[in-house]
Amino acid sequence: MNLAAATNENLAHTSNVLIYSSMAVYTLAFFAHIAEWVFGSRSKVGRTAAALTGAEGAAAATVKVQVAQKGGGTAVLDRPKIITRSAAGTRDVPDGPGAAGGTFKGDLYGRMAISMTVLAFLVQAGGVLARALSVQRAPWGNMYEFSITFSTVAVAAYLILLALKKNVRWMGLLLVTTVLLDLGIATTVLYTSSDQLVPALHSYWLWIHVSTAIICGAVFYIGAVATLLYLFRDSYESKLANGGQPGSFAQSVLSRLPAAATLDKFSYRINAAVFPLWTFTIIAGAIWAGDAWGRYWGWDPKEVWSFITWVAYACYLHARATAGWKGRKAAYLALIAFGCWLFNYYGVNIFVTGKHSYAGV
């Protein structure tokens, strides 16, 4: 074995160690987020927000509460003003207090979870970089490499939103859980040893086309999480509006999420922002296909499902802008569209044979 081969093998081993190490740190972040939600469930702020979304509504912004003080006296306090965000035609209800529920302990564990997520992200990014150096190419030539890069970019997008002061910490637990699942599948089922690519992939279009596909998938994932939580929160708000009494789990968890209107607006903006990039991804793939195979479109399964995904998201964006299809109907379309993206990655690569099957698992 020559020196170059030994170096590449050492880098590949380093990459594996870093990926497994990131999984360990993500696990710590997972438990910290669990603690954040547990301590946040004891919050009086959370119960107050839940009550406000019920019969009182956001209009009761100055309800007076009597608080017992030492010596038997009482004091009158004004309830804090609650900022509402709602789209036209939706219920005007406040956002929940967040996973920490306004508690000191909940917030402390939440901050710890974010810190560990940042650390895990840096370790995982180092693993992706080491993989790239070991193969001396872009680190997404097979499903294993694509998976570890995909989850890295998804976490990066989440951390960027946090850095921009966006209220997205409620997504942390679900994000970390999904990343652990993704890395678990990648390291056990999808793992492929470092190897060079087939000649068709030796092109600068690999960096352009596949990188944009990964970015789109990561951002679509964040939009899908918001959409899914929107459906749960919307059901919770509807039950309260109709005089129903949600269960203890809904009162504890769903009451702390942002309002349904906020989640709906967030998911729409995320999907709308990345849709043009997905359009570019398909166009870049067609150009690359023309260079590699002499045709821009050949009804390959990957090409077909990429276009189906594009159509599904186009239908969602159109529906979201149409009065009769706002809300839950549009949300279902968004989840179907993301399901198409997932099938395009997992289903087509594993179960369907085509020109994009050369990379193997």
Helix (H) or strand (E) holding 216: helix 211-241
d(CA 289, CA 355): 10
d(CA 309, CA 345): 11
CA–CA distances in Å: residue 309 to residues 7, 130, 268: 41, 32, 16
Retrieve residue 316's tokens. 């969602």
Cα 259–Cα 261–Cα 262 angle in degrees, nearest 5:
65
d(CA 225, CA 2): 48
CA–CA distances in Å: residue 359 to residues 134, 142, 241: 17, 5, 52
Q: Are strands 74-78 and 64-68 parallel, antiparallel or unpaired?
A: antiparallel
CA–CA distances in Å: residue 111 to residues 36, 99, 115, 227: 9, 11, 6, 25
* Distance, first Cα to last Cα, the chain: 26
Query: Can you say how many angstroms the Cα of residue 107 is from the centroid of all Cα atoms in its chain?
Result: 21
Helix%, strand%, coil% for the chain, nearest 5: 70, 5, 25
Query: Can you say how many angstroms the Cα of residue 35 is from the centroid of all Cα atoms in its chain?
Result: 20
Retrieve residue 64's tokens. 């007076």
d(CA 345, CA 151): 14
pLDDT of 125 reads: 97
pLDDT of 62 reads: 30
d(CA 259, CA 52): 12
Q: What are phi and psi of 94, to 5 degrees?
A: -80, 160
d(CA 172, CA 175): 5
Instruction: Name the stretches of the chain with pLDDT < 50.
Output: 44-89, 358-359
d(CA 245, CA 242): 9
Stated pTM of the model: 0.82
Q: What are phi and psi of 78, to 5 degrees?
A: -90, 135
Q: What are phi and psi of 38, to 5 degrees?
A: -65, -50
